[in-house]
Chain A
């Protein structure tokens, strides 16, 4: 069965601090996809990244970086030099090819960035 765990319910940081959001997943599939989404207070879902199970390379996009480690079933997300606009709920998600790409979301981590 697939499962996504985001153990951090809320994180509060001061602007310019670095922050890492943790994500641990469970799956029996060998082909799967991992995602991060941002949900700002306005409510829409903003796609951040998709990573397939065969690509363990870490990725950096501006202030965002992702660390995918199959050995620990983790897909962590780091924001460097956080800004107030980063305040949002962040969701990690998992989609299995065998499951028709039905995406399972974690419970989310609410990030507060204070000025």
Chain B
């Protein structure tokens, strides 16, 4: 049973480009959470999704950031027109239905903006 899979592991973008981060939850998990970790800081909640629904996006920046979790396929965190301040580690976590306290984290995607 594979764990939460995130790809790519490392992503390099130039300012102004788009970044797409992918997260495949564990099998049977229908809830996905995205977190961002800026250098030398703790993880900050960004968004919580269920299949085809955004449940809580209170931690998402108002502009340039969006997330989706389609019926089929991985969850995608999309950052448009990246800036240097977007450089961070982005972690995805998933949980089974009805057991939100059982979070399983992926290995993260390190985004570097040049």
Contact = CB atoms under 8 A, between A and B. Distances in A.
Interface of A: 33, 35, 37, 43-45, 47, 50, 52, 91, 93, 95, 97, 99-108
A100 B48 contact: yes
B95 A101 contact: yes
B55 A100 contact: yes
B55 A106 contact: no
Contact of A33 (B58, B101, B108, B110): B101
Contact of A101 (B58, B91, B100, B110): B100
28 contacts: A43-B89, A43-B110, A44-B107, A45-B43, A45-B91, A45-B108, A47-B105, A52-B101, A93-B43, A95-B100, A95-B103, A97-B100, A97-B101, A100-B48, A100-B100, A101-B95, A101-B101, A101-B103, A102-B33, A102-B56, A103-B43, A103-B103, A104-B45, A105-B42, A105-B44, A106-B42, A107-B42, A108-B42
A23 B31 CA distance: 27
Contacts, number: 61
Interface of B: 31, 33, 35, 41-45, 48, 55-56, 58-59, 89, 91, 93, 95, 100-105, 107-108, 110
A105 B100 CA distance: 16
B70 to A, nearest CB: 20
A25 B36 CA distance: 21
Nearest to B46: A102
Contacts of B44: 105
Nearest to A32: B101
Contacts of A93: 43
A91 B37 CA distance: 12
B41 A43 contact: no
